[in-house]
A and B are shown apart, each in its own frame.
Chain A
Amino acid sequence: MDLLANLALGFETALTPANIFYCFIGVLLGTLVGVLPGIGPTGAIAILLPITFTFEPVTAIIMLAGIYYGAQYGGSTTAILINLPGESSSAVTAIDGYQMARQGRAGPALATAALGSFFAGTVATMLVAVAAPPLARLALQFGSAEYFALIVLGLVASVALAHGSIIKALAMIVLGLLLGMVGQDIYTGTPRFTFGFFELYSGINFVSVAVGVFGLAEILRNLENETTRSVLVKKVERLWLSKDDFRRIAMPVLRGTGLGSILGILPGGGHVLASFASYSIEKKSSKHPEQFGKGAIEGVAGPESANNAAAQTSFIPLLTLGIPAHPVMALIIGAFIIQGIQPGPNVITSEPALFWGVIASMWVGNILLVILNLPLIGLWVKMLTIPYRVLFPAIIAFACIGTFSINLNAFDIYAIAVLGIIGYVLVKLDCEPAPLLLGFVLGPLLEEHLRRAMIISRGDPMTFLERPISAGLLALAALAIIVSILPSIRRKRDEVFVEED
């Protein structure tokens, strides 16, 4: 069987001492980078790129890939512990993960993230090995019309991200979309909402928004009741999952893995949707949706699995077509070129050891990550016992350093301050930051694809309905609206009773 022979070749390549060593270095660096808020894998890989010049091509790619998926692991750690997501994908983990940490369940939250990620990583790696070429073909069916429809569906479904009023959630999405409009018009270059600041031409930095609206706002809110918090921390009981926890996370992990694997393949934007979409699905299918946002373990398990599965399968378009799904993949393409390998459909046939070696190394890397992360959970949880007066300045300083290091732009740090205050006001108004962040991330994509689809169809909006995939996705979105309106009538009645008690 071809697949077995190929995988054997892959493991032979991935299991040489040098490759295991650099795979470990990669995931270790990735975890560290993920834990430090603001310093994302893009920056880390860009900095380390020159070091890999002297490596064998396969070793270089294995290490860079390790940094990338290692960072996906690490990013969830800060999201859970201090509500500071380093990347858009871990923003969702922060919603329930952080609440779990506040309830003294940081250990199970971290363990869930690690186990869910490992399972998803294993499945997704198999998927890459078995189905990469045909799946890449499928993803190419997605043109701008399909992406637009997919994003509309994502935004509609994300109402589930909030656990309060639907109106407020919608308002937050729209605010996010508006924030995403800041910067140069992507097609004409006309500056919009820049208020004369040259720094705003390229838009508001995502990390500034995440750190400000999630991190800083949370810190401000915590300062109001410093005393309650220290009580909460002492309650850290168990570090491991109970039997009941295992039962609760099984299905979310499976669903998250499936969803993430599919969305990760889509070039451009797909991976961003994965964790958001998984959260919506878990909340919708849960028997206790009211627990979401208050420390539901399913809200950590699903998105974490989805996010890691997507991280693995986003290598599919890269390895099979030479197309980068996002900036990190673009950097890895750069690494290919520097190594003298022309990325493209030829890589599988011309460099089989490289192709299969990298795939096998992903699985090796996932094992290394579990070995690395599980013993560290106890250490991370101890972080929570650090007094706030020490922890807060440190978090803010690290976040600012990290943010600054992305573009070397002091303006991004001022943006954190402004967005932090906005975030605090929103928290006070019971408006949730997660839908805002989703709108902010997807807004520019929504506009780009809408306008491009319209350019290609030369102004004919029917293109969205004439193309079957797009029409199907839009129909789903319409269905989601109808479904969410129906129970809202019921919920209004429920609210009457809630007010009374």
Chain B
Amino acid sequence: MIKTMFAAAIAAGVSLAAVSAQAQTYPERSITIVVPFAAGGPTDTVTRLVAEPMSAALGQQVIVQNVAGAGGTLAAGQVAAAEPDGYTILMHHIGMSTAPSLYSALPYDPVEDFEHIGLVTEVPMTIIGRKDLEPTTLAELVEYVKTNGETVTYANAGIGAASHLCGLLFMSATETTPTEVPYQGTGPAMTDLIGGQVDFLCDQTTNTTGQIQGGEVKAYAVTSADRLPTLPDLETTAEGGLDMEVTVWHGLYAPAGTPDEIVQKLSEALQTALADQGVIDKFADLGTTPVAQEDATPEAHLETLTSQIELWKPIIEAAGVQPQ
């Protein structure tokens, strides 16, 4: 009996030692960050920008792999099921917190099935309209949508996309029901907005800043708490009298069961990357900033995720979006 316990203790000790040895020598080979959207999109760009300095901090190559599909849930499901060794991690955005309300048969739990490495950035969104849309201010736009109801068209980049969520929030905040026109991604939606086929949309500054600066679209408001340095004349939703604030936050995830030491190492590498001047500059070009160092931590990330899941649940339910 004692012998068995002894053996078990040794076995446990050995496996613990193995784990911590693994954690100490981590990373020994290249690390893959899975991006749940197509290459070239805003999330992909953010990932590639932080991957480079993270690779320098970790002393190993960091590879970006795009696994697009099923509104980003395909990639998240894959990473949740991956080996929890820190070599396969996930970059995901606000969609991580809305997926539980949008998909009834989600093959993973965003809170339980992941270790949370840290937040990366919060990209503000802008409400923009076609160039010749009548209203010139946010207040006028709200009034216009109220008066014209369903004849006003609102474009989004598909179910679960940031532009879809922003639209839901807009409708719930203004109690209006414009006609929703879904597109396959932001690109075609923007094309039709510039071409005057649809009336307005709300999307990340990563996608809209160039069009706003070029005068191709009419900008109404930015959805962050403060004005943007890149668009200093654009008022915030709060200034425009609208009670809605939304940013597309991005975070890094590892599969549940990844040793704490490894999560910590990844978190530190993320913090180093976010302090890199090159990253700060390029983020600024995108109209965003890296999160504060204390937010690029597992604790802050988990807190944001859980509070966002609670925030979106009633909004998505109220909008009557059918869970799939």
By a beta-carbon cutoff of 8 Å, the part of chain A in contact with chain B is 42, 45-46, 49-50, 53, 140-144, 184, 186-190, 201-202, 267-268, 317, 321-324, 327, 330-335, 337-338, 340, 342-346, 407-408, 448, 452, 455-456, 458
* A–B Cβ pairs within 8 angstroms, 29 of them: A49-B39, A49-B48, A50-B48, A140-B195, A143-B192, A143-B197, A186-B158, A186-B182, A188-B159, A189-B71, A189-B324, A190-B324, A202-B74, A267-B187, A267-B191, A321-B191, A323-B190, A330-B187, A337-B45, A342-B209, A342-B285, A344-B210, A344-B213, A345-B215, A448-B184, A452-B183, A455-B180, A456-B179, A458-B150
Contact B184 A186 (CB under 8 A): yes
- A340 closest partner in B (C-beta): B285
CB-CB < 8 A to A324: which residues of B? 40, 187
Contact B210 A201 (CB under 8 A): no
CB-CB < 8 A to A140: which residues of B? 191, 194-196
Contact A143 B206 (CB under 8 A): no
Query: Beyond the given A268-B188, A334-B41, could you list 9 further A-B residue pairs with CB under 8 A, ordered by the A residue number?
Result: A50-B64, A53-B52, A321-B194, A323-B194, A330-B187, A331-B40, A334-B45, A342-B213, A346-B214
- A349 closest partner in B (C-beta): B214
Point out which of B49, B70, B151, B196 has the most chain A C-beta atoms below 10 A from its C-beta: B70
CB-CB < 8 A to B182: which residues of A? 186-187, 452
CB-CB < 8 A to A346: which residues of B? 210, 213-214
Q: Does B216 contact A (CB under 8 A)?
A: yes
Report whether over half of chain B's contact residues are helix, strand or loop; otherwise say mixed: mixed
CB-CB < 8 A to A317: which residues of B? 191
Contact B40 A333 (CB under 8 A): yes
Q: How far is the CB of B157 from chain A (nearest CB, A)?
A: 12
CB-CB < 8 A to B191: which residues of A? 140, 267-268, 317, 321, 323
Q: Does B176 contact A (CB under 8 A)?
A: no
Q: Which 9 A-B pairs have the closest CB atoms?
A: A344-B210, A334-B40, A140-B195, A345-B214, A143-B197, A342-B210, A330-B40, A331-B40, A46-B39
Q: Does B57 contact A (CB under 8 A)?
A: no
Contact A408 B285 (CB under 8 A): no
B69 contact from A46, A201, A334, A338, Cβ within 8 A: A201
Contact B40 A344 (CB under 8 A): no
Q: Does B291 contact A (CB under 8 A)?
A: no
Q: Does B322 contact A (CB under 8 A)?
A: yes
Query: With A49-B39, A190-B324 in contact, is A344–B211 under 8 Å at CB?
Result: yes
Q: How far is the CA of A267 from the CA of B324 in the complex (A)?
A: 31
A202 contact from B70, B151, B282, B285, Cβ within 8 A: B70
- B71 closest partner in A (C-beta): A189
CB-CB < 8 A to A45: which residues of B? 39
- B287 closest partner in A (C-beta): A342
Q: How far is the CA of A267 from the CA of B51 in the complex (A)?
A: 31
Q: Does B242 contact A (CB under 8 A)?
A: no
Q: How far is the CA of A326 from the CA of B46 in the complex (A)?
A: 21
Q: Does B44 contact A (CB under 8 A)?
A: yes
Q: How far is the CA of A45 from the CA of B182 in the complex (A)?
A: 28
B48 contact from A323, A332, A338, Cβ within 8 A: A338
Contact A338 B282 (CB under 8 A): yes
CB-CB < 8 A to B285: which residues of A? 337, 340, 342
Q: Does B67 contact A (CB under 8 A)?
A: yes
CB-CB < 8 A to A184: which residues of B? 70
CB-CB < 8 A to B45: which residues of A? 334, 337-338
CB-CB < 8 A to B20: which residues of A? none
Q: Does B264 contact A (CB under 8 A)?
A: no
Task: Give per-residue flags for B172-207: 1 if the beta carbon is below 8 A from chain A beta carbons, else 0.
Answer: 000000011111110110111011111000000010
Q: Does B66 contact A (CB under 8 A)?
A: yes
B49 contact from A330, A338, A407, Cβ within 8 A: A338
Q: How far is the CA of A46 from the CA of B66 in the complex (A)?
A: 9
Contact A332 B40 (CB under 8 A): yes
Contact B38 A330 (CB under 8 A): yes
CB-CB < 8 A to B39: which residues of A? 42, 45-46, 49, 330-331, 334
- B324 closest partner in A (C-beta): A189
Q: How far is the CB of B175 from chain A (nearest CB, A)?
A: 20
Contact A202 B69 (CB under 8 A): yes
CB-CB < 8 A to A46: which residues of B? 39-40, 66
CB-CB < 8 A to B188: which residues of A? 267-268
CB-CB < 8 A to A458: which residues of B? 150-151, 179
Q: How far is the CA of A455 from the CA of B151 in the complex (A)?
A: 10
Q: How far is the CB of A201 from chain B (nearest CB, A)?
A: 6
Q: How far is the CA of A452 from the CA of B153 in the complex (A)?
A: 11
Q: How far is the CA of A141 from the CA of B196 in the complex (A)?
A: 8
Q: How far is the CB of B56 from chain A (nearest CB, A)?
A: 13
Q: How far is the CB of A71 from chain B (nearest CB, A)?
A: 16
CB-CB < 8 A to A53: which residues of B? 48, 52
B41 contact from A330, A344, A455, A456, Cβ within 8 A: A330
Q: Does B286 contact A (CB under 8 A)?
A: yes
Q: Does B281 contact A (CB under 8 A)?
A: yes
- B209 closest partner in A (C-beta): A342
Contact B286 A337 (CB under 8 A): yes
Q: How far is the CB of B161 from chain A (nearest CB, A)?
A: 12
B179 contact from A189, A332, A338, A455, Cβ within 8 A: A455
Contact A323 B40 (CB under 8 A): no
Task: Give per-residue flags for B246-281: 1 if the beta carbon is below 8 A from chain A beta carbons, else 0.
Answer: 000000000000000000000000000000000001
Q: How far is the CA of A141 from the CA of B209 in the complex (A)?
A: 23
Q: How far is the CA of A190 from the CA of B210 in the complex (A)?
A: 34
CB-CB < 8 A to A337: which residues of B? 45, 206, 285-286
